[in-house]
Structure formats: structure tokens, C-alpha cells
Homo-oligomer: A and B are copies of this chain.
Amino acid sequence: MCVMRMKENPLLVCADVKPSRPDFTVVGVFNCGGVRTEEGVTLVCRVAEMCSDRGDGVIRIPHVETGGTIGAMEFNRSDPRYDFTDPRAIVERDGRRVAALSSMSSLRRAFAPDGVHFVCDDTPLFPLDPRSEEWGAEDPRITRLEDGQYAMTYSSVSRNGVGVSLALSDDLVTWNRQGMILPPANKDTVIFPKKIDGTWWMLHRPILDGLGASDIWIASSSDLVHWGGHQHLAGCRTGQPWEMRKIGAGAHPMEVDAGWLVLYHGVDEKEHYRVGALLLDKQDPRSVLARTPQPIFQPEEPYERNGFFSNTVFPCAAWIEGDEVVTYYGGADSCVCGARLSLSDIMDSLVYGRRAL
């Protein structure tokens, strides 16, 4: 499997991103949606921020207050009521409820004419919604639709859970928000670039625990805003340790001769994130034709192995250029990276047939 990481990796790190306020610190720029246009590559990055450390043992996390102003939630690191061991969340020891995320993310546009040397906007793409995004917006995916519009899905996070919201744009600059298209707990939603059989389709990933697993589902829509026809599409495979715990779509499905190619992430028992591929039927994307038994891309470089959430490659943007799949991905929940994967290698790695799925 030929994976060519961009030699300029990581392409964006915290130091490249201006905090959205002078008293904030950027703690991650990662998990970006993206598209190539004639002018270059536009990414929309997840930028995670905390209030700057005052050295007083207090963790201060920005959040959106009712009315839209940004306030800070405070947690004393020595407070025995909270468990600070998960780098992504502060959890109540009593009851294991999430008291806060460890940072607040918002979405930031970055642009590079050459697809390598990105400059990140100094301000978020849009202000967050105090009701549904009190704790942030995360992990955008962008699809250029057949009608020329751009559709962006992203996670809206609040004390009420993580749901999936949609925004539409004609120019990748002005975004029209369309509300929450999937209620909590859901993530990792990607929209197909064109209608199939007269309808829009998307993949999504319910977050399940106990009854059901965090698998990939598919749904359909006539207007991109209202969704139904939900069906389970592909599950974790207990026989494949690298993806036995969770799987979720990475970038939007890419049309190839054999069907729809989907990069997806698989999560193992140690919460390491690798990448596999699915092939869906071109006429009926509810049918899985083939799947890669082994990861096609996995954390190897220092910027993928060590970071805010280590041992993670997390692609949210991908498209085909010639015989290559170009992907932009988050490295260790810390930085934005790029890679080129051989399309024919991916196609050769797919195993067809019911037993392979």
C-alpha cells in the first residue's frame, strides 16, 4: 500500500493559528474538511482553544453563553470530583457524566494555492449557536454537490450531546446554516456529491454503547436538511483488532468505476485511529460490495503518534487526482497533514464478497 505523506507535514500546527481572543490558547488545529477548486485548496479546520493557563492549577474552557457571548467554565485540577485522564473530556467521577470537553473547538477556514502552504483565517467561520454549540463545533466535512453548492456537515456539541449540523455555501466563505440534521449522539457524517436514484444520501455514525455499536449508517433526503430511511451499512469487525471498537466515515464518498469509494476510520481497543476503505454499489449505496481487511493508512510519523490524542490519523477530506487519492487529515488531534494514496493500491486492497464485509 503506497502512502506518500506530504513532505511539508504537518501543514498546520497550533503556532500557525491566531487565537480567536488574546486570552485564548490554540491547543489543536486538525480534522479538516476540504475541497480543491481552480484557485487552490480550501480547508475548514477544527481549531481547539482553551483559556490561557494562569499557572493557578485551574483549567478554564471557553463556552458559549446564552445570548452568544463567550464565557469560561473553570475546573480545579485537584478537584476530586472530576477525572481529567481523558485528554478530550472532563468526566464526573460520580456517574461518569461528561462535565465539559477539555477545550472548545470552532471552525476556521485555511487556504493554500498550492495545497501545501496554508494560511489560516484569524477568526472562526461563523459564531457558534448558544443552544446547540455551547461547547463547540468539530470535525467538518465538505462535499461539492453536483449543483455547484458546497455542503458542510460538522458536529455540534453542547451539554445536551453531540449532534450533526449542516451549512451550505456557494463560495466557501459565506455559509448558510441549516440546523441540526441528526440529533445526538451522532458524528462523522458525509454527504454524497450527487443524487443517486433521485435522492441525496449520507453516511453517519451513531455513538452507541450497550445495545448496538458505533458503526456506519446510511440515510436519504430530498432536500439535504430532512433525513430518513436510516439503515445500518457497515459494522465494526471483532475479528479485525484495528477496527473492533468503532468505525466512521472519513471523507465524502468518491465515485470510481467500480462504485463509491469511502475512506473510513477504524478504532482499536487502545483508541488508536487507522484508515480503511469501503466500496458501495454505484446505483444503490446501501449495498456494500467490498472492504479492506487491513488498514490502508495508519499512524507512523511522530506528528501522528504523539499529540493531544495520540496514535490517530483522521481524514475528513479526500478527492481523486489521476491515480491518487489526495487526503487531508488530522494528526494526533493536533495538526493538519496531507497525504497521497495510490488509488490502484486501494482498489487492489479491497476484498469482495459477503465474508469480507
Contacts and interface: CB of A to CB of B under 8 A. Distances in A.
Nearest to A162: B211
Given A96-B210, A210-B96, A212-B185, A229 B161 contact: no
A227 interface: yes
B211 A222 contact: no
A42 interface: no
A83 to B, nearest CB: 12
Contacts of A215: 160
Nearest to A219: B183
B212 A181 contact: no
Interface residues of A, number: 47
Contacts of A131: 231-232
A225 interface: yes
A208 interface: yes
B96 A235 contact: no
A158 to B, nearest CB: 8
A124 interface: no
21 contacts: A91-B210, A97-B210, A98-B210, A132-B232, A160-B232, A160-B235, A161-B211, A178-B228, A179-B230, A179-B231, A180-B228, A180-B229, A180-B230, A182-B230, A183-B186, A183-B219, A183-B230, A184-B211, A185-B206, A209-B209, A226-B226
